[in-house]
């Protein structure tokens, strides 16, 4: 598929992306615990959650738009911070269970409170985030500081009233879903019925009811009876956005299986198998590794799904199993460097991908703090950089270009100069607007399209 890159072209109707905000420490010494491990907007886009390696969740809230100053949409400010998971010690194995948050998924809002699921390698938790902006005052039996009054001193009765107080946001764990995964959880996905969700580890997928924590149903199990025969693991899984009986899971061999839970209780037999035949001209020892799918995401419409492997993003039509309908090369210039990338383990990096609200543009990260957007309609793509050098608000981001070989033009960067320690693995797109959140190692960047 030919992809034409034009200087200055943005993704989608020539959007111009501007820097909006950056969150996180400025210094170059990255604390291990601050490494961002997941980013997710809620269903309205008003809230943006990040999880980090230290087990913390930070939620940002978009402030209400300032009608007078309509230069930009509301800024995101810290709304709530809490410790979701703690490091645990497995005494039997003498192992630490990492507290790193692998995924966060929001539930749709049903009442005043917000709910999200967060997971580490072994345990999923349902958190309730609620606001408190009033407190009762005027108790008969208690003083204002909480001490109890001597009942004999009470001579009159009064009715307690609610008085306003400074807004307090509380996060409390409502459910803990534990002890169901032997291997490391890589995905959680909430069903469109909003009552159940799935969790996937390397070899199994379990189905949970949000109200029930002491049991889960195993719906996929690819563990071979003889572990010698293990050649493939599950890498990601997601429920279909509209069909509550349908989900997909991807594998380390580059396949995606679509399963229908109505067909049988155990969905080891797929309904559809999506796989693109290997291109013989691109064959190498690393073919399997680079075909391993690191992320799978349904389009909002539910008609397509997108997969990310090491070098490309592919869009699949659910009605066509034998090949993707669109393929976008993220950083093809790395194909000749696979040996080096194998040496330093970068070839095993797991990049995520995401759709915009209208499913017209897709985005994914790369190295050197670059991220890429592909417009499915215009077939144009753009490379941008998340860097503190561009951090004046409303500065339009300059497109970046990597020079694969030959003479390097001005403003281009050569492949050998790329910093492979600066990787953008996690990105998220606001469900309704052109606002994106891009995570570098320990900073969160928010970009918006230019509003005139």
Which C-beta is closer to other proteins: that of 249 or that of 304?
Answer: 249
Q: C-beta of 418: minimal distance to other proteins in Å?
A: 8
Least gap, CB of 103 to other proteins (angstroms): 16
Provide the terminal-to-terminal Cα distance of the chain, rounded to the nearest Å: 34
What's the min distance (Å) between Cβ of 16 and other proteins?
A: 32
- Smallest CA-to-CA distance from 383 within 426, 422, 412 is with 412
Q: Which helix (H) or strand (E) holds 340?
A: helix 338-343
- Which of residues 42 and 120 has its CB atom nearest to other proteins in the complex? 120
Give the shortest CB-448-to-other proteins separation in angstroms.
Answer: 30
| Beta strands 103-106; 114-119: pairing state | antiparallel
Supply the minimum distance, in Å, between the C-beta of residue 76 and other proteins: 25
State the minimum distance, in angstroms, from the CB of residue 98 to other proteins.
Answer: 9
Distance of CA 269 to the CA centre of its chain: 28
Buried b (16+ CB within 10 A) or exposed e, 6-16: eeebbbbeebe
**Residue 274 beta carbon to other proteins: minimum distance, rounded to whole angstroms:** 19
In terms of CB distance, is 41 or 370 closer to other proteins?
370
Q: DSSP letters along 363-389, please? A: EEE-BTTEEEEEETTT-BEEEEE--GG
Q: What values do phi and psi take at 12, rounded to 5?
A: 75, 95
Residues 299/355, Cβ–Cβ less than 8 Å: yes
> Least Å distance between CB 96 and other proteins?
6
Angle at alpha carbon of residue 101, lines to 99 and 102, rounded to 5°: 125
- Residue 417, burial from CB neighbour count under 10 angstroms (0-12, 13-18, 19+): exposed
- Of 36 and 363, which CB lies nearer to other proteins in the complex structure? 36
| Nearest-angstrom CA–CA distance, 447 and 371 | 12
CB 402 within 8 A of CB 326: no
| Residue 41 in tokens | 């907007």
Comparison of 72 and 216: residue with beta carbon closer to other proteins: 216
| Contact in structure between 273 and 281 (CB atoms under 8 Å) | no
Instruction: Return the number of the residue (221 or 326) whose C-beta is nearest other proteins.
Output: 221
User: Which of 150/214 has CB closer to other proteins?
Assistant: 214
Nearer to other proteins, 87 or 393 (CB): 87
């Amino acid at each position: 598929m030919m992809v034409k890159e034009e200087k200055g072209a943005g993704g989608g109707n020539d959007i111009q992306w501007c820097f909006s905000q950056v969150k996180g420490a400025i210094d170059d010494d990255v604390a291990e615990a601050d490494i961002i491990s997941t980013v997710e907007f809620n269903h309205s886009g008003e809230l943006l959650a990040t999880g980090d390696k230290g087990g913390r969740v930070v939620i940002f809230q978009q402030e209400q738009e300032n009608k007078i100053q309509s230069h930009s949409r509301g800024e995101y400010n810290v709304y709530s911070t809490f410790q979701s998971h703690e490091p645990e010690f497995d005494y039997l194995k003498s192992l630490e269970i990492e507290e790193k948050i692998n995924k966060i998924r929001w539930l749709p809002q049903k009442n005043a409170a917000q709910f999200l699921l967060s997971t580490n390698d072994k345990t999923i938790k349902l958190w309730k985030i609620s606001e408190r902006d009033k407190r009762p005052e005027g108790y008969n039996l208690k003083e204002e500081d909480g001490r109890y009054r001597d009942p004999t001193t009470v001579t009159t009765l009064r009715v307690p009233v609610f008085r306003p107080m400074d807004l307090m946001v509380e996060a409390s764990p409502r459910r803990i879903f534990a002890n169901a995964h032997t291997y490391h959880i890589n995905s959680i996905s909430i069903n469109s019925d909003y009552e159940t969700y799935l969790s996937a580890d390397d070899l199994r997928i379990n189905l949970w009811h949000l109200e029930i924590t002491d049991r889960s149903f195993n719906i996929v199990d690819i563990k071979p009876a003889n572990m010698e025969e293990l050649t493939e693991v599950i890498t990601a899984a997601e429920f279909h956005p509209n069909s509550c009986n349908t989900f997909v899971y991807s594998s380390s061999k580059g396949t995606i299986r679509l399963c229908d839970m109505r067909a049988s209780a155990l969905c080891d037999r797929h309904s559809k198998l999506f796989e693109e035949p290997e291109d013989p001209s691109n064959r190498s020892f690393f073919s399997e590794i680079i075909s391993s799918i690191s992320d799978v995401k349904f389009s909002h419409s539910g008609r397509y799904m997108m997969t990310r492997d090491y070098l490309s993003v592919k869009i699949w039509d659910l009605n066509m199993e034998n090949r993707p309908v669109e393929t976008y090369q993220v950083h093809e210039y790395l194909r000749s460097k696979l040996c080096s990338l194998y040496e330093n383990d970068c070839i095993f990096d797991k990049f995520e991908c995401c759709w915009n609200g209208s499913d017209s543009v897709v985005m994914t990260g790369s190295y050197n703090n670059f991220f890429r957007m592909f417009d499915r309609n215009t077939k144009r793509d753009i490379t941008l950089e998340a860097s503190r050098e561009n951090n004046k608000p409303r500065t339009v981001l300059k497109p970046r270009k990597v020079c694969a070989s030959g003479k390097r033009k001005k403003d281009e960067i050569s492949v050998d100069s790329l910093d492979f320690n600066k990787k953008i693995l996690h990105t998220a797109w606001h469900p309704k607007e052109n606002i994106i959140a891009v995570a570098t190692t320990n900073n969160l960047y928010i970009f918006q399209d230019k509003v005139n």
